[in-house]
Chains A and B, each alone.
Chain A
Amino acid sequence: MPVITTISRQVHDLAGDEPLIVSAGTVRKALHELEARCPGLGAFIEDNMAIAIDGEIHQDALDAVISDDSEVVLIPKISGG
């Protein structure tokens, strides 16, 4: 099962002891799972974080696919000049 890693302390604080592990599927499904297990976490990630899947940064891309062997990393959303 894909393990989510992140340098964001806010995500860790919200998750508490809950391991950041989700089933394979889409980002949307993963966020639903996290939200169900840890209310507020999925919503926080959806609003504030970008999701790098296998090195490719996705923003607001809830349809993106996470496979069993995907590397999934949460980073703060990126804007720009």
Chain B
Amino acid sequence: MSDGDDAPARELKVVGQRPVRPDGADKVTGRAMFGADFRLPGMLAGRVKRSPHPHARIVSIDTTAAAALPGVKAIVTGADFDLAAAGKIEAGESATDVKSVSINCMAHEKALYQGHAVAAVAATSAEIADEALDLIEVTYEVLPHVIDVEDAMKDGAPLLYPDMITTGESPAPTEPSNIASKMVAGCGDVKGAMERADIVVEGRYRTAAVHQGYIEPHACVASWGADGQAVVWASTQGQFLVRALTAKICNMPLSDLKVIPSEIGGGFGGKTTVYLEPVALTLSRKCGRPVKLVMSREEVFIASGPTSGSVIDVKLGAMKDGTIIAAEATLAYQAGAFPGSPVNLGCMTAFACYDIENVGLVGYDVVSNRPKVAAYRAPGAPMAAFAVESAIDELALKLNMDPIDLRLKNAVREGAKAVYGATLKSIGFVETLEAVKAHPNYTTPPAPGVTRGVAAGFWFNIGGESSASVHVDEDGGVTVVSANPDIGGSRASMVMMAAEVIGVPVEHVRGIVADTASIGFSSTTGGSRVTFATGMAVVQAAERIVEDLKLRAAKTWDCDVSQVDWKEGRALCLDPSKDVQPLDLRSIAGKSARTGGPIGAEVSLNAQGAAPGFGVHVCDLKVDPETGQTTIVKYTAAQDVGRAIHPSYVEGQLQGGAAQGVGWALNEEYVYGPNGTLENASFLDYRMPVASDLPMIDTILVESRPNPRHPFGVKGVGEVPIVPPLAAVANAISRITNKRMTSLPLSPMKVLDALSGD
């Protein structure tokens, strides 16, 4: 797409190209070190004992026999974690309730879900640790449990917390419930507008809890030093977050803990908290030896964060011409065993694509006996978009309007007010819709027997705190150090931005992800913030380097710095009275001592000005009438990306998010038995898309609205792509079944039922 008028006026040489990523060779040769790959001399193997019950009082834990087993070096239980030391901390993005994180790492008094950790062992081998787990005697008093969000909200439901009073409800309720909080938001007169509307559509939509599904299970090594200084190696999206949470939970000074991030084998939000690190460190503290803890896949499913399942009521009122004049939604999200579902974000994103005058939103954050939810790509937004985009599709069918035209009619445009009250700026939703409308994948009608679903999605994108340093080596090579674990190729964009600013080939720039002791604080990799915020820090540091290099050239030439230009990695002298050759980076760097010493700059900032992103997906699919099996035949993902630094990795975000969304729509779900235990805690039974399930995923990168608040126009791109697919798939299937498909996943059985009219 062509650039808009307000695109940054730069002639770009590196940004927008597709170089090989700096960490690539290590990752294709097996050299890259992920969480479980690290080992230390004398390291012990840790194992975690987990509750078999979804809800039970822990009456007693007897570790005597386990402790007597030769080779067992340390055992911990909830008694080893001082909850009084926990509280609220600023752990990066927002204040986190450390007490609940601590209890989630190791149960106190009650096991709140099947898989909740109740004890852990460190031993000289994994076999001995496993044997010791069996020897730990836990006596439970089994309590009634509740799994589903609607059941958990009912009067008389088993209560996880007998003292929990819903917040956000006024007047405050007098009786406790599983509803942790209620959010109410809106504008205008919804009731009046609904009455005025020519047409009203409404429905109840359900989505299942789904897991982020990163292929690398959680893993860490913790080593406690005799002086109280400790080191943790962890696979995480945020080493500073791990440091803050682990230090607080282990009741130690934060500065005594160094956290070294490994390469990370996927996160998608699921690695933005701690599960193992405080346990491993407490084990290590007890025995003075390094301890490694690695989750099995089953543990990942039962004990680490899925995202919320949801029940959403949505109602839209529109005029005959398609103008939506009223919208309301009530969203109830599973939080898992601790409060904190992303329902507030679900509310704020639900109608964010559309300019609607009268909007009413209610959100409920509901606890139940499931693992505590963790962030998952655009947390809270995909479920809300599933409901809203399905309702809009229904409206399009009833009005006999093209689904893109209906969305164009109601799309938020520059200067429109978002439902949460703020004016939207630098947004490219209309451009994205138009790009899809003009694309051959849309102008070509679907093949016979194939139907097409369209859906849109929104995500805020965020900035926040980031640090980066850039230094020039003696030979003119450049190193970029940042603190954001690279989950999708962000190091490539960091080195590219530095190369662009300094004017050197990208191959001369190395990218490093540093530990907590080696660079200033940075917020977690998440919220699609890294290329925007950390990228801003890298660009500013690189710009300081260029200023410094110009000064050094001016010194060398004995001219004023205003007479020095920096172009293509060289200083040029503009002073006509000087007869000098340009100075390249290498010659300045090689003699840096003579111009003031080493060349380096570090920038720490709190980046603001993240611009929201919009996506529009089109899914063509067919259904086997015999089996109900859905086959995706063509998929197109378009997105308002600002500017793509490395287009391949931006496309990769769109493709990967779409694939996850397709899995969410068609197959993935947490299946619980009547006893409250998870019945499909394996990749065999929890069915994520494999290569033969998908076609190529075509992408359209809309670059006509670059973000003016980023030096290269970057908008976050990672979250948006998982928002539209749920409804894009469901809308296509609804057009085959002639019945609104309202409950995910759309497994073959459900589709077959709909086809047979049941």
Instruction: Tell me if B339 counts as interface (CB < 8 A to partner A).
Output: no
Q: Nearest chain-B residue to A49 (Cβ)?
A: B94
Check A59–B170 contact: CB distance below 8 A: no
The residues of B that contact A5 with a CB separation of less than 8 Å are: 421
Check A58–B185 contact: CB distance below 8 A: no
Check B95–A59 contact: CB distance below 8 A: no
Check A59–B422 contact: CB distance below 8 A: no
Bound-complex Cα distance A60 to B422 (A):
17
List the one stretch of B8-16, B606-614, B636-644 in contact with chain A: B606-614
Bound-complex Cα distance A81 to B377 (A):
4
Check B185–A7 contact: CB distance below 8 A: yes
The residues of B that contact A73 with a CB separation of less than 8 Å are: 420-422
Instruction: Tell me if A75 counts as interface (CB < 8 A to partner B).
Output: yes
The residues of B that contact A56 with a CB separation of less than 8 Å are: 425, 608-609, 709
Instruction: Tell me if B379 counts as interface (CB < 8 A to partner A).
Output: yes
Bound-complex Cα distance A61 to B95 (A):
15
Q: A7-B186, A7-B421, A81-B376 are in contact. Are A58 and B608 (CB under 8 A)?
A: yes
Q: How far is the CB of A64 from chain B (nearest CB, A)?
A: 7
Instruction: Tell me if A57 counts as interface (CB < 8 A to partner B).
Output: yes
Q: How far is the CB of A13 from chain B (nearest CB, A)?
A: 6
The prevalent SS among residues of B at the interface is loop
Bound-complex Cα distance A13 to B424 (A):
27
Q: Among A7, A48, A75, point to the contact of B95 (Cβ < 8 A).
A: A48
Bound-complex Cα distance A9 to B42 (A):
55
Q: Among A8, A47, A52, A64, point to the contact of B422 (Cβ < 8 A).
A: A52
**B interface size (C-beta, 8 A):** 54
Q: Nearest chain-A residue to B376 (Cβ)?
A: A81
Q: How far is the CB of A69 from chain B (nearest CB, A)?
A: 12
Check B719–A80 contact: CB distance below 8 A: yes
Q: Among A8, A57, A81, point to the contact of B185 (Cβ < 8 A).
A: A8
Chain A, interface size category, equals 20 to 34
Bound-complex Cα distance A61 to B606 (A):
7
| Highest count of chain B CB atoms <10 Å: which of A6, A7, A54 | A7
Bound-complex Cα distance A80 to B462 (A):
8
List the one stretch of B523-531, B544-552, B575-583, B673-681 in contact with chain A: B523-531
Bound-complex Cα distance A7 to B168 (A):
12
Check B462–A52 contact: CB distance below 8 A: no
The residues of B that contact A81 with a CB separation of less than 8 Å are: 212, 267-270, 272, 375-379, 526-527, 718-719
Which A20-72 residues have a C-beta within 8 angstroms of B?
Answer: 47-48, 52, 54-61, 64, 71
Q: Nearest chain-B residue to A6 (Cβ)?
A: B421
Bound-complex Cα distance A56 to B608 (A):
8
Bound-complex Cα distance A48 to B168 (A):
13
Q: How far is the CB of B362 from chain A (nearest CB, A)?
A: 10
Instruction: Tell me if B364 counts as interface (CB < 8 A to partner A).
Output: no
Bound-complex Cα distance A79 to B718 (A):
13
Q: Nearest chain-A residue to B425 (Cβ)?
A: A55
Instruction: Tell me if A76 counts as interface (CB < 8 A to partner B).
Output: yes
Q: How far is the CB of A17 from chain B (nearest CB, A)?
A: 14
Interface 1/0 per residue, B720-758 and A, CB below 8 Å = 000000000000000000000000000000000000000
Q: Among A13, A54, A80, point to the contact of B269 (Cβ < 8 A).
A: A80
The residues of B that contact A8 with a CB separation of less than 8 Å are: 183, 185
Q: Nearest chain-A residue to B268 (Cβ)?
A: A81
Q: Nearest chain-A residue to B419 (Cβ)?
A: A7
Bound-complex Cα distance A75 to B352 (A):
13
Q: How far is the CB of A62 from chain B (nearest CB, A)?
A: 10
Q: A9-B184, A59-B463 are in contact. Are A75 and B422 (CB under 8 A)?
A: yes
Check B526–A79 contact: CB distance below 8 A: yes
The residues of B that contact A52 with a CB separation of less than 8 Å are: 420-422
Bound-complex Cα distance A58 to B88 (A):
21
Instruction: Tell me if B344 counts as interface (CB < 8 A to partner A).
Output: yes
Instruction: Tell me if B371 counts as interface (CB < 8 A to partner A).
Output: no
Instruction: Tell me if B143 counts as interface (CB < 8 A to partner A).
Output: no
Q: Nearest chain-A residue to B347 (Cβ)?
A: A7
Check A78–B462 contact: CB distance below 8 A: yes
Q: How far is the CB of B735 from chain A (nearest CB, A)?
A: 30
What would be 8 A-B contacts, judged by CB atoms less than 8 Å apart? A52-B420, A55-B422, A59-B463, A80-B378, A80-B462, A80-B719, A81-B267, A81-B272
Q: Give 8 A-B pairs besides A47-B95, A55-B425, A81-B375 with Cβ atoms closer than 8 angstroms.
A: A7-B419, A48-B94, A52-B422, A59-B463, A61-B606, A80-B461, A80-B528, A81-B527
Q: Which residues of A contact B (CB under 8 A)?
A: 5-10, 13, 47-48, 52, 54-61, 64, 71, 73, 75-81
